[in-house]
Structure 1
C-alpha cells in the first residue's frame, strides 16, 4: 500500500490526508506524508474501508487480516521500493523547484542592477565626460599662466640682446672650466643593497678667487668680450640718429643705449688682435694668459668670431624689419 501512496502526487496525498483527518500535512515532505498516511489508513482501516477515495488503497493492499500475513521479505521489498520512488520524487520536486525559482532570482538580480536604456545614452555620457575633462584641463592650463610665460620667453629671446647674452654665456662657461677648477672633496661610499659604486665628489676650489690664476684670464676675457666692445658701442651708436627724425611710432627702429652692430664689430676686431696678432695691451697680460683663455673657449677665438658674426647679422636683420 505504501507503494501505491508513493506513486501518488503530493497534491493528491494532501487531499487524502485531509479526508483521513491527518493534521499538519501541509508542512510535511512527501515521504513523511506517505508514511503518516499509510499508518493512519492501516490503523483505521475499518473506518475508511468504505470511503471511495481510499478504495483503491485497500483494493491493492487487501484486507487488514491479509496484510498482517505478509512476510518480512515482502515488507522489506515494499519499503525498498518506497525508498527508491521517494528519492526519485524528491529529486524531481527539487529540480522543479530550482527550475521554477532560478529565473525569478535572476530577474531580481537584473532588477537591482541599473542598466542604461540604450547605447546612445552611454555614448552621450562618455562624450560629456570627455568634454568636461577637456574643459577643466584647459582652464587649469590657462590659470597656470604657462601661455603667458612662453610668450614672454619668446619675446625676450627674439631680440639681438638675447643673442649677445647667449653667446657671452657660452664663452663664460668654457672659461670657467679653466679658471675655476673643481677639486676632490670626499667619496660617497658604495651601497651594496642597491649595487652602487663609490662616487668621488668634487667641489669648486674657492681659494683660486684670491690668486692671479683666476683673475688674469677672467679680466682678459671681460676686457675683450665686454668692456672694450661696450665702450665702442656706447660712443659709436648709430641708432641715436633716429631721435632727430620726429616722434617714434610702432614701426620706428628701437633705440639701444649700446649699438649692437658696433658691439659685434668691435668685439670681433679686439678678439682678432689679441688672440691672433699678439696684441697684449702694452704687456698687461702675458702670452700664457692669452693661451689659457684661447684654449678654454669653445672653438678657441674662432668660436668668438663666429658668435660676433651671428650677432651682427641679427642686428642687421632686426634693423631691416623695423625699417619696413
Structure 2
C-alpha cells in the first residue's frame, strides 16, 4: 500500500474533507439530518439529507419503480420521498447521483418536476456515456457531454446545503464516474463499499478497475474514524437478519471483510477479480444504464410515441 499511502498523504481534497468532518463532529449545527428510504426490490437506499437550520435538502440516489416483465414504470418509491419532503417543509436544492447505476433507474427527473433542485453527477459521466452510448448504439442524437445533467461535480469541489458544507470526492473503480459526497460529517459513498460483513462493490463493468477501486476505498477510509458512511445498497450478509446501510470509517477499517487495514492492494485485486468472474449481470442493467446515462430520462419516443429499451445480444 506504499504508493497508495503516499498519494493519500498529498491529497488536498481529502485533507479539506477531513477538516470538514472534524468541524462537524465538534459542532452538531454543522451536521445534517438524514433519512434513508430502502427499496427492497433493488436493495437500494435513497437519502434525503437536510440542514435543520435552513431546511434546504439534497436527495441522493433516488429510485424509479420498474417492472421488467411489462416494461412499466411507477413512482411509489419516489412518492415516499416527496411526502417526507413536504411533511418536513424542506426545500430541495440538489438531486445527486453518486454514479450511473446499473441496478435501478433514477427517479431524479420526476422528483425535479415535483420538488425542483439541480440534477448533478460526477464529471466523468461523459466516459460512461461514451462507452454505453456505443454499446447501445444510441446514435448521434445522444449527447455524450453530460448535458443531461444540470451540474457535473469535479474532485474536491465544494458545495453547500443551507449552512452545511459539502465536498465531492472522485472514487472510481466500480465505474469511472463514481463520486462520494461528504456533507458535514456524513459521506454518501454510492457503490464503492458495503456493510463490513458484506465487503465491496464489483469492478468488472466496462471502465471498472479493481486496483482503482481499492485505492478509492482507501482514500475514503483515510477520513477521520468517526466519519459516518451511508451506503447505496445492502444485501444482508449471511447470518444477518436485518438490512443496514450506516457504518463508520473506523468500523470499516477494522472489520470490512474485503478492505480492512490488514488487506493489501494485491490481495484485494486478486479476491475482487476472482469474485467478479462468478457474478451474474444485475437484473436491471439494460434498462437502468440506458436511462441513467440520460439523467434518468427514457430514450426519445419513436414514431409511434413509445420509448424503447434496447437489449444488445451477446455484447456483455
Query: Is the TM value for this pair above 0.5?
Result: no
Relative to its length, the structure with more strand (as a share) is 2
Report TM bin, short chain: under 0.3
Relative to its length, the structure with more helix (as a share) is 1
Larger relative contact order (Cα-Cα within 8 Å, sequence gap ≥ 6):
2
Q: TM-score, normalised by structure 1?
A: 0.20
